[in-house]
Amino acid sequence: MGMSVGVLDHFNIRTRKLADTVRFYQDILGLEKGERPSFAFPGAWMYSEGKAVVHLVDISPTEEPQKPDSGVVHHVAFVSRGFSAMKARLQSKGMAFDSRQVPGGELWQIFVNDPNGVTIELNYEAAKEQGAGSVPTERADDVGAR
């Protein structure tokens, strides 16, 4: 049998801004806060479609310094649905984001930063987003170079 790394299971954010970070993933991206094992440290798990895809660890009770951004990780990407709805949601929440079309036109993207400076990339298959409006070239606000 061949070997495979597989698909991304989750990513972990160590934060001093737990409540703000939970709020971002819930209220802005629409993830759900769900069950989490009883670890000896505080945190939260955020779920998408029944899967805990974002693990948050609250480092505020420790001496661990908060990184000012996402470190060497440039961004984390999700395969997404509902391009127009997400753009409307971000605009209604006053969130800065960048939307674009990947050259060739088959993929639309939205980039938005969480409260810790982690860039979240949301990818939408253009063919599945029919009726989603015009090509996503506007920029609500710059969230950093990609």
Residue 138 reports pLDDT greater than 50: no
Q: Does residue 26 form part of some domain?
A: yes
Q: Select the more confidently predicted residue: 16 or 74.
A: 16
**Cα separation values, 58 from 16, 46, 71, 105, Å:** 6, 14, 17, 40
Same domain for 51 and 93, yes or no, is no
- Residue length of the chain: 146
Q: Does residue 2 form part of some domain?
A: no
The CATH number of whichever domain residue 96 belongs to comes to 3.10.180.10
Q: Which of 45, 61, 77 is the last residue of a domain?
A: 61
Same domain for 77 and 128, yes or no, is yes
Banded model confidence at residue 131, pLDDT cuts 50, 70, 90: low
Same domain for 92 and 46, yes or no, is no
Q: What is the pLDDT of residue 100?
A: 93
Same domain for 110 and 49, yes or no, is no
Banded model confidence at residue 34, pLDDT cuts 50, 70, 90: very high
Banded model confidence at residue 139, pLDDT cuts 50, 70, 90: very low
Structural domain that includes position 53? 7-61
Same domain for 47 and 102, yes or no, is no
- pLDDT tens, 87-129? 999 999 999 999 999 988 889 999 999 999 999 999 999 888 8
On the CB side of 83, CA atoms within 13 Å amount to 23
Q: Specify the pTM.
A: 0.84
Same domain for 57 and 86, yes or no, is no
Alpha helices of the chain — where are they, by DSSP H? 18-23, 83-92
Say how many domains are in the chain: 2
Q: What is the mean pLDDT of residues 129-137?
A: 59
Is residue 92 classed as helix, strand or coil in its secondary structure? helix
Q: Does residue 44 form part of some domain?
A: yes
**Cα separation values, 82 from 22, 34, 76, Å:** 21, 23, 18
Same domain for 93 and 73, yes or no, is yes
Average pLDDT, the chain: 88
Same domain for 49 and 76, yes or no, is no
- pLDDT tens, 62-88? 999 888 888 878 899 999 999 999 999
